[in-house]
Structure 1
Amino acid sequence: MKNLLYIFVFLLGLTLQAQTGLYHSGNMQVHGNLGFHTNFINDSSFDQTEGLVGFYGNNVIQVLGNIPPTLWDAEMMVFDNILLQNTVNIANNFSFFQGNVLTPKDNQSVYLNFMDQGTSTGEDNPRKVTGFAAINNRDVFLFPVGDENALRTLTLNSEGVTPLAICAYFFENPLSPTSISASFNTANKVRDIGSVSDREFWIVQSDVPAQVTISWNARSGLGLIPNATFESIIAIGWSKASNQWIVIGNSAMSGDLTEGFLTTKTFVPSEYEAITFGTIPLPTDTFAVDYPTLGNYFLSPNGDGINDFLVIDGMEQSPNNTLMIYNRLGQKVFEKVNYVDEFRGMANAGSLYVNKSIGLPEGVYFYLVKLDDVGLEYTGYLFLDRQ
Structure 2
Amino acid sequence: MRRYIDISRLLKQYSRIGLLLFCFFLVHAIQAQVQKEREVVSSGGSEAQNSSLKVSYTVGEPVVTTVQSANTILTQGFEQFLDSSSLISFDVSVQDATCAGKRDGRGFISNINGCQGPYTVNWSAGFNPADTFSTVGLLAGDYSVQVVSSDGCSSQPVTFTIGLIDPNPCLLKFYSGITPNNDGINDSWFIENVELVPDNEVRIFNRLGNLVWEGSNYDNNNTFWDGNNLSGNDLPADTYFYMFESDDGIEKGWIELTR
Per the TM superposition, whether the score is higher than 0.5 is no
TM-score normalized by structure 2?
Answer: 0.32
Q: Which has the larger radius of gyration?
A: 2
Bigger relative contact order (CA 8 A; separation at least 6): 2
